[in-house]
Amino acid sequence: MPSLRAGSDVSSSISVAPGRRGTTALLIAAAIGGAVSVAVGVYAAQHDPTNEQILHVGFSSTLSMKAWLTTGVFALAVVQALSAAWMWGRLPRAGDAPRWVAHAHRWTGTAAFLLALPVAYHCLWSLGWRGTDTRVVVHGILGCAFFGAVTTKLLALRIDGAPRWAVPALGSLLVAVVTGIWLTSSLWFFTTVEFPGW
C-alpha cells in the first residue's frame, strides 16, 4: 500500500486500470483463497481433537480465551474498516487521511491476523470440527472462510491492474466474516455462558 501525503486523494494516487490480466489474476487469487478455506475445513473435520489448551494466561477455559482473543480481532477489524474508509475518502467529516493512517491500517491488520492464530489453533487442533448445532456449524464455516479471505486479499494487494473495487470489496468481506465469527462465538459466550469469563 503506498504511503499517502496529508491532503492527497487516494483515488488519484493509485493507478489501477482494470484489464483482462488483472481480472484473471484476481480470479486466480480467489481460487487460491477458496482452496485454503476448503483445506482448513477438511483438516478440521479429519483431525482428532487434542482438547489441549496452549495459552492459559489467566483464562479459566479454552472457550474464555477464544472469546476474548476473538473480541480483540473484532476490535482490530473495526479499526481496519475505519482506517480503510478514511484512506479512501469515505469517512464522513474526517478530511484527508494523514500518512500515519496507512501505517496504522497495515499494522492493525497484521496484529489482527497474529491474534487470530492462537484462536485458530484451538479451533482446529484442540477442538476440531463440531456439527452440534447451527451456530457451531456457521461459526466453523466462517472460521474457514476467514483464512481464505485473508489469503485472497493479500494476493489481491499484489495484483497490478486489478479492478478498483477488488481490494475494498475483499476488505469489507473480511470484516464481515470476522463480525460473523465474533457474533457466533464471543457474543454467544458472553451472553450465554459467562461474562467476563476469566
Distance, CA of 30 to CA of 39 (rounded, Å):
14
Strand positions, DSSP E, 24-136: none
DSSP one-letter string for 137-164: HHHHHHHHHHHHHHHHHHHHTT-TT--T
Instruction: List Cα–Cα distances, 86 to 80, 92, 101, 107, in angstroms.
Output: 10, 8, 8, 16
pLDDT in tens, 127-152: 777 777 899 999 999 999 999 999 99
* Lowest-confidence region among 16-20, 35-39, 49-53, 133-137: 16-20
State pLDDT tens for residues 85-114.
Answer: 999 888 888 888 889 999 999 999 999 999
How do the residues of the chain divide into helix, strand and coil, expressed in percent and rounded to 5?
70, 0, 30
Residue type, 81: A
pLDDT of residue 77: 96
The pTM for the full model equals 0.81
**In this structure, are residues 190 and 63 in contact, taking their beta carbons and an 8 Å threshold?**
no
Domain ranges within the chain, ordered by starting residue: 17-193
